[in-house]
């Protein structure tokens, strides 16, 4: 586990979170997040139904970028990757790598804490069929750009899926777009590294395209890259 000691931009991150939560830029996404019917298992719960900000350690050296909130996951709980099977996979792996305090995340107030890591997404509202439109992705991109700028200690950006990879590339103005492949690495400005991973969606985990060992390898590599970058700075 990587330990950081100096707080970085916590007030401005809080201001950014407030701006995200109140955003209504995309009418289609606003309608979907607010009207999606609850699943039977969650019928007694009150859904969040707002945009979902990132969360974690303001001194994060590793930033995880996903696709978007799940309709019955983060759109219900109000915290990224919390309350769905993708999050189960993600936080188990981050816990094994020392970035998360517990291997599961069920609710925003369940006590999960991240150390040296921050979790966010390319799009902040749950999209129908998990497919945000290009204009919706573009409308959300400034939030990710600001977030990555405020997380000044970040050295590794883990992109979960091709869309997240493309979003990070857009933030940094990379051309041509970096090749997406599991465990592919690409240099970014500011002495950062883009590290690609298959998304822990059921489509990938149920089919065996992504295994727990493969996801563990991503966070092991992320930790090693971050430690190497920090060591280089110290030297």
Number of domains in the chain: 1
Q: Which residues of 50-70 are buried (b: 16+ CB within 10 A; e: fewer)?
A: bbbbbbbbbbbbbbbbbbbbb
- The verdict on residue 78 lying in a domain is yes
- pLDDT in tens for each of the 235 residues of the chain? 333 444 446 699 999 999 999 999 999 999 999 999 999 999 999 999 999 999 999 999 999 999 999 999 999 999 999 999 999 999 999 999 999 999 999 999 999 999 999 999 999 999 999 999 999 999 999 999 999 999 999 999 999 999 999 999 999 999 999 999 999 999 999 999 999 999 999 999 999 999 999 999 999 999 999 999 887 665 4
Give how far the C-alpha of residue 77 lies from the chain's centroid of Cα atoms, to the nearest Å.
Answer: 15
CATH number assigned to the domain comprising residue 158: 3.40.470.10
Residue 193 is part of which domain span?
A: 10-234
pTM: predicted TM-score of the whole model, two decimal places: 0.94
């Amino acid at each position: 586990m990587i330990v950081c000691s100096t707080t970085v931009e916590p007030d401005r991150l809080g201001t950014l979170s407030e701006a995200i939560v109140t955003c209504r830029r995309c009418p289609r996404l606003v309608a979907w997040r607010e009207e999606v019917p609850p699943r039977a298992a969650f019928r007694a719960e009150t859904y969040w139904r707002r945009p979902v900000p990132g969360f974690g350690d303001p001194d994060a050296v590793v930033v995880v970028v996903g696709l978007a909130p799940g309709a019955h996951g983060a759109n219900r709980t109000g915290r990224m990757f919390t309350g769905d099977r993708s999050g189960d996979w993600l936080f188990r792996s981050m816990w094994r790598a020392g970035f998360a305090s517990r291997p599961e995340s069920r609710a925003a107030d369940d006590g999960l804490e991240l150390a040296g890591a921050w979790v966010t997404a390319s799009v902040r509202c749950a999209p129908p069929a998990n497919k945000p439109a290009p204009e919706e992705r573009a409308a959300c991109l400034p939030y990710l750009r600001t977030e990555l700028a405020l997380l000044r200690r970040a050295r590794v950006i883990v992109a979960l899926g091709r869309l997240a990879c493309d979003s990070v590339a857009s933030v940094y103005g990379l051309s041509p777009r970096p090749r997406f492949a599991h465990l592919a690495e690409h240099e970014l400005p500011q002495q950062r590294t883009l590290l690609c991973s298959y998304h822990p969606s059921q489509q990938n985990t149920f089919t065996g395209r992504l295994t727990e060992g493969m996801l563990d390898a991503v966070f092991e590599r992320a930790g090693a890259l971050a430690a190497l970058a920090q060591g280089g700075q110290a030297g």
